[in-house]
A and B are shown apart, each in its own frame.
Chain A
Amino acid sequence: MSERENILGRIREALQTKAPLPGSHTAGGSTTHAISDSPAAQAREWLPLVGATPVEQIALFAKNAADLKADFQPLASRADLKPALLRLRDAENWQRIASHQGELSSLAANALGLPVLWTDTGYDVQAMEQCDAGITECDALIAQTGGVAVTSRSAGGRALSVLPPHHIVIARRDQLVADLPAAFALLQQKYTPDFPSMISFITGPSRTGDIERILVLGAHGPKKLTIFCV
């Protein structure tokens, strides 16, 4: 018999005895109520409250992003994107950047007048490591957490959003969702049954507290996260 069958066999044998439901102290499984098929389905009612209007949600996103030490810049129009990016380029003296083809990411990457490493047809990781910023699109902005959701398909692969020291996200305003359940529902609807091999919820720039629990940004991933919303 294979190990798979051995393990599944032991599991089935063990499960012949019922366990008490959570919250009861007695064994024997004599409980009368059954748990629902999906107990977490009402998560929205218990998670932190999010306002109903777009104005409230964008304000909450801005507050949460600031708490996470991410830089959130809502822009009035696409025309404002170029000057905002140029300010960052000059302030941090960028020499080269990495990005992927996309309506917004291409617009942003081409606006900088710098050499661009495009990830779309494969790339050299050492070259990406030398880039000063990685510019990606995303799938969602989540008001409840101040974070963004990216995937290997929407954000130029797995490494682009995490290898360069500054991650720039260019999002559309209509990508803002209220909460985590909405973000998961959106991803599931958009990608089922063919999910990208990586989905990542990025909530602030990389951080660690492993030395005396003191917060340090940029542990292994980006030290800075800037989110433009157009």
Chain B
Amino acid sequence: MSSFVSQFKAAASVKTADLRHRQVIRTALRSYEVVRDKRKASFQSWESARQAAAETKWEAVNHLDTHLEALTAKLEARGTKVHWASNAAQAREIITKILQDKKARSIIKSKAMTSEEIHLNDALEKAGFTVVESDLGEFIVQLRHEPPYHIVFPSMHLTRGEIKELFQRELGDAPSDSPEDLTMVARRVMRQKYLTADVGFTGANFAIAETGMISITENEGNARLTAALPKTMVTLLGIEKVLPKFADLALFLPMLATAGAGQPMTCYNTMYSGPRQAGEVDGPEEWHVVLLDNRRTELLADPEQRDALHCIRCGACLNVCPIFRNVGGHTYGTTYSGPVGSVITPHLRGLQDWKHLSNASSLCGGCTEACPVKIDLHHHLLHNRRNASTSEPAFFERLSYKAFGLLANEPGLWWLAKKIGWLTQPLQKLVKGSALDPAKAWTKTRDLPPLPQETFKDWWKNRKPTQP
């Protein structure tokens, strides 16, 4: 068993029994489905919008090379420096080099899952830079030295009491545990950091090929400030973020807000097309855009699951997933958690190490239904299971299916197996869940149903015909 699967199992069994965790997540998501459904209902046709969004992303991803070339040509024409990184190490190197060339010391960051993916903060801190996360949720988890719990709501696993204690301990400032007061503490701390940071770092939600723009969606205004005040700006994004046309945003921005948080529009949706231009009064003098592959092209090479690159990271599939809600975001041990994380992580980090995530699913299909760009998530979990067992079949699994096939094809053997089962089932009770039980992974937490005394066949044979 790989260490990743044993870590997953250990963490999952702790979290699923943690009633406090369950309560906190329930509180955090209590109104999500209500407001999301209200917003969806305000669309004239949410379903048509989903189909169009899926087709737009299909077009973008299936002509990714031409769109990326158009994007970079437009960006470069207005003075933006575009960098290409095949993997995480290259991306870290490029960004570190930019900071060193600028003789930067402090970096203010707005939320970027790609930076989590390449473990940028660790690398920058080791290289001697000061990195501050400006998104409130990211700032909170950064103070706790832990990864974000959820791709959209990084600190949703924490209560106000815990955040108050954290601020008291780390910042020496926490007037009360009201969310309002705590937010104002973060606002005060961050203000001076925006004004003095050498470099502003951002992620991206979309990139527009037609006009050469990067679009950033946020509620707090932290990305706006990050992209306005420091002299140098660095943006890291996955190559799959591209959309063909400027006008596509008129559809994607409200859909992202609706699916992600049940908002009609996120508070700030901002498109950047260059560093400060002639005649403009502020903005960075230099803008570096780093395009990250990091095995996205591996996923692209799988036509069956290519649509997983449509993902706009809204988090809707996490919010509705019964597994996510019970095992929690950190249990996955991945940058991208929940159903979409379980689909893409095996592609990004190796199928055999991460195939267990595809089994951590009830296959209820809630994720597929919630996805605003119609990624066939729960079928892809099945595809991953199939691919994993084809490329490296599990011996015991193969043996049991062989045995079952044999029994099911031979009525005599089937009859015998039933009789043996009926005779030995009482013995199973004695060893249930213990080391002697061959099915203990299943029976440790579940009861086997008793085998019936009379089979359907026997009942059919012995039934008394009733008068109509």
Contacts and interface: CB of A to CB of B under 8 A. Distances in A.
A14 B297 contact: yes
Contacts of A19: 58, 61-62, 303-304, 306-307
A38 to B, nearest CB: 6
Contacts of A183: 250
Given A122-B281, A213-B153, A21 B187 contact: no
Contact of B250 (A4, A36, A39, A40): A40
A195 B74 CA distance: 11
B248 A195 contact: no
B10 interface: no
A201 B253 contact: yes
Interface stretch (A46-54, A72-80, A86-94): A46-54
A59 interface: no
Contact of B65 (A11, A181, A198): A11
Interface residues of B, number: 117
B282 A206 contact: no
Nearest to B279: A153
Given A159-B229, A197-B283, A210-B137, A15 B187 contact: no
**Interface size bracket, A side:** 35 or more
B65 A8 contact: yes
B52 A42 contact: yes
A14 B300 contact: yes
Interface string A114-157: 00000111110110010000000000000001110000110011
Interface in B44-59: 44-46, 48-49, 51-59
Given A23-B54, A201-B270, A162 B225 contact: yes
B31 interface: yes
Contacts of B247: 38, 40-41, 43, 181, 184-185, 188
Interface in A199-224: 199-214, 216, 218-222
Nearest to A35: B55
Nearest to B228: A158
Nearest to A211: B179
Contacts of A220: 134, 187, 190, 194, 220-222, 224-225
B58 A22 contact: yes
B179 A46 contact: no
Contacts of A153: 279-280
B89 to A, nearest CB: 12
A2 B40 CA distance: 45
Contact of A47 (B49, B86, B269, B304): B49
Contacts of A67: 264
Given A25-B376, A46-B45, A207-B220, A201 B280 contact: no
B84 A2 contact: yes
Nearest to B192: A129
Contact of A207 (B49, B219, B273): B219
A192 B74 CA distance: 12
Contacts of A38: 56, 244-245, 247-248
Nearest to A181: B250
Contact of A213 (B46, B156, B187, B195): B156
Contact of B55 (A22, A199, A219): A22
Contacts of A20: 303-304
A213 B137 CA distance: 10
A31 to B, nearest CB: 11
B223 to A, nearest CB: 9
Nearest to B155: A210
A39 B52 contact: yes
Nearest to A213: B28
A119 B228 CA distance: 13
Contacts of A222: 221
A36 B55 contact: yes
Contact of A7 (B239, B303, B379): B239
A120 B281 contact: yes
Nearest to A201: B269
A83 interface: no
A81 interface: no
Given A46-B43, A197-B272, 18 more contacts: A7-B293, A15-B65, A22-B57, A22-B58, A27-B304, A40-B245, A46-B48, A122-B282, A145-B254, A153-B280, A157-B282, A179-B250, A184-B250, A197-B276, A198-B283, A201-B253, A211-B155, A218-B187
22 contacts: A3-B85, A10-B297, A11-B68, A14-B300, A15-B63, A35-B59, A38-B56, A40-B53, A40-B250, A46-B45, A48-B42, A125-B282, A156-B281, A159-B228, A183-B250, A197-B274, A198-B228, A202-B267, A209-B153, A211-B155, A213-B156, A218-B187
Sorted nearest first, the 4 A-B pairs with minimum C-beta distance are A221-B221, A22-B54, A219-B220, A158-B228
